[in-house]
Structure 1
Amino acid sequence: MRKLPKKLLTAFVVTTLAGACLHFLYVLLPNPVTALLAPVNESLWEHLKIFFWPYLAAALLLTRGGERGCRAPWMLSALLLCVVMLCAGYFYHIVLGGERLAVDLGLYVLLMAAGFLLSGVFCHVGERTGVRDIILLLTVTMAGAIAIFTFLPPDHILFTDLSGVNTWATIPY
C-alpha cells in the first residue's frame, strides 16, 4: 500500500477542520459574505458549503504551479461528493429520520477523506481539454448554485431547515 504524502495528510486535516469551523461562521458574523461561505441554517443544501469551499481551497493550494489539467480531478471529486453528501444526508435525515451529530460528523470526515483519495483516482481526467472544460463549467455552476440558493432557496426538502428536535417528522414530502 502506498503511503500518503505528509503534505496531503496535513491538507486533509486542515481542510476538514476549516470546514467544521465554517459551520459556525455565519452565527458569529452574520452578513452576506459569510452567508456565501457558511451555512445559514441546518438544511442539507447549506451544509454543502462546509465541504465545497474548503475542499476547493485545498485543491487550489495543492495544485498551484502544477501542470495544465491537474485541478480537474479535484473539481470532479468535489462535484461527485457534493451529490453523495446530499443523497446520504437525505437518506439519513429524511428517510431514516436520523438526528445524531456523530453520524453527521462521521459522514463529513468520510466524504472529505474520500475527496482527497478520489483526486488521485481521477488523476487522468484532466488530460483531455473537453473533459477538463466541462468539469470546470460544472464546478463554476455548482458554486453559482450555492451562491444563488443561499439568498433565494427554492421550496424543496433539500433546502428545509432541519434544526431542532424531531423536525423530520414535520417535513412535508
Structure 2
Amino acid sequence: MKKNIKKWTKWGIVLIIIWGVLLHFVYEWSDENAIVGIFGAVNESTWEHLKLLFWPAFIFSIIEFMYIGKHYSKYITGKAISFYVGILMIITLFYTYTGIIGKNYVVVDITIFIISVVISQYIGYKIITAPFKIKGVINVISVLAIILLILAFVFFTFNPPHIPLFKDPKTGGYGI
C-alpha cells in the first residue's frame, strides 16, 4: 500500500504544478467570472498566488482519498499539514528573497511554487506513512483547519485586508 501512496504523491506533484499554472490564467480566461475567481488568481498579489497551490492540492487530495487515502488513518492530517506547509513556504521564500534583493523575478517565483509543491507533498506523504498513530480528535482538528483555508480563500477573494500580502503590486488593488 505504501508504494501506491508514493506513486499517487508523485503524480500529485505533477498535476498540482500543471493545474496551478493553469489557475494563474483561468480567471482572466473566464472573462473575470467571480466564481472562477475563488479558485484562480484574480490579481498578482501573493495571497492570490497561494490559491495556485491550495486548490489543485485540495482537489487532488479528494480524488486520492477516494482511491487510497481512506486506508490511512493519518491521511487528512497529513494533507492538512501539507497545505499549510506549502502556503507558508511560498510566503516565506517569496518575502525573504524579495526583501533581500528588493524586487521579484518571475523565474524565481515559479521555482518557489514548484519547490513548495514538492516539499509540501513530500511532508504530507511522510506524515501519512509514518509509523505513529494519531487520535481521532487530531483528524477533526485537521478537517477544521482545511475548512478554515477554504473559507479564507473564498472570503478574502472578495474582502481582502489592505495589507501587503493581499495587494496587487501591478495595480495597487486588492481582490476582485
Indicate whether the TM-score tops 0.5. Answer: yes
- 1:50 aligned to which of 32, 48, 52: 52
Does residue 1:160 correspond to 2:162, yes or no?
A: no
Q: Is the 1:42–1:161 contact (alpha carbons within 8 Å) kept by the matching residues of 2?
A: yes
Task: State how 1:31-70 maps to structure 2 within 5 Å.
Answer: 31-65=33-67, 66-67=70-71, 68-70=73-75
Q: CA deviation at 1:46?
A: 0.8
Task: State how 1:6-155 maps to structure 2 within 5 Å.
Answer: 6-29=7-30, 30-65=32-67, 66-67=70-71, 68-94=73-99, 96-123=101-128, 124=130, 127-155=134-162
Q: Which runs of 5+ in 2 are unaligned?
A: none
When structure 1 is superposed on structure 2, of 21-30 and 90-99 the one drifting more is: 90-99
- Aligned residues: CA RMSD: 2.3
Q: For residues 71-117 of structure 1, what are the alpha-carbon distances to aligned partners after superposition, in whole Å with 9 as ceiling and x for unaligned?
A: 22011110122122122222233553232111001000111111221
Separation of aligned partners in 2, 1:70 and 1:162: 37
When structure 1 is superposed on structure 2, of 151-160 and 10-19 the one drifting more is: 10-19
Q: 1:26 to 1:116 in 2, by over 3 A?
A: same
Q: Is the 1:90–1:158 contact (alpha carbons within 8 Å) kept by the matching residues of 2?
A: no
Q: TM-score, normalised by structure 2?
A: 0.83
Q: For residues 127-158 of structure 1, what are the alpha-carbon distances to aligned partners after superposition, in whole Å with 9 as ceiling and x for unaligned?
A: 32111111111111111011111001111010
Separation of aligned partners in 2, 1:132 and 1:126: 11
Q: Is the 1:70–1:126 contact (alpha carbons within 8 Å) kept by the matching residues of 2?
A: no
Separation of aligned partners in 1, 2:100 and 2:152: 25
Over 6 Å off, 4+ runs = none
Share of identical aligned residues, percent?
23
Q: Is the 2:74–2:127 contact (alpha carbons within 8 Å) kept by the matching residues of 1?
A: no
| One-letter code aligned to 1:100 | Y
Q: CA deviation at 1:6?
A: 3.9
Q: Is the 1:26–1:39 contact (alpha carbons within 8 Å) kept by the matching residues of 2?
A: yes
Q: Is the 2:76–2:142 contact (alpha carbons within 8 Å) kept by the matching residues of 1?
A: no
- Of Structure 1 and Structure 2, the greater helix share is in 2
